[in-house]
Amino acid sequence: MALTTEQQATVDMAIAIETSRINGQAAADAKHAKLEAVRLAKEVLIENARSKAVDSRDVSAADITAFAGNLITYINN
């Protein structure tokens, strides 16, 4: 049974809304995963620094973001 023009327009609008919602959720999930990787990288690097001498326990933001990037790359592959 064929849909009327009005019914098809309603279906097309519903599909467009759902597609937009799915894309928005995927973007939010990606940001959440990235934030979680940064949090995990920070915790790991700080915990590993505890076993070093006091004068060499520096953990910089660059170290954290580099390690988080490696984690994200590993997860995505």
- Give a yes or no: residue 6 inside a domain: no
Q: Which residues contact 33 (CB under 8 A, 6 or more apart)?
A: 72, 75
Report if residue 2 sits inside a domain.
no
Identify the pLDDT of residue 22. Answer: 98
- Count of structural domains within the chain: 1
Residue 65: pLDDT band with limits 50, 70, 90 = very high
Q: Which domain holds residue 31?
A: 12-76
Q: What is the pTM of this model?
A: 0.73
Alpha-carbon dihedral 41, 46, 52, 54, rounded to 10 degrees: 150
- Is 52 inside a domain boundary? yes
pLDDT tens-digit map of 3-47? 999 999 999 999 999 999 999 999 999 999 999 999 999 999 999
Q: Is residue 32 part of a domain?
A: yes
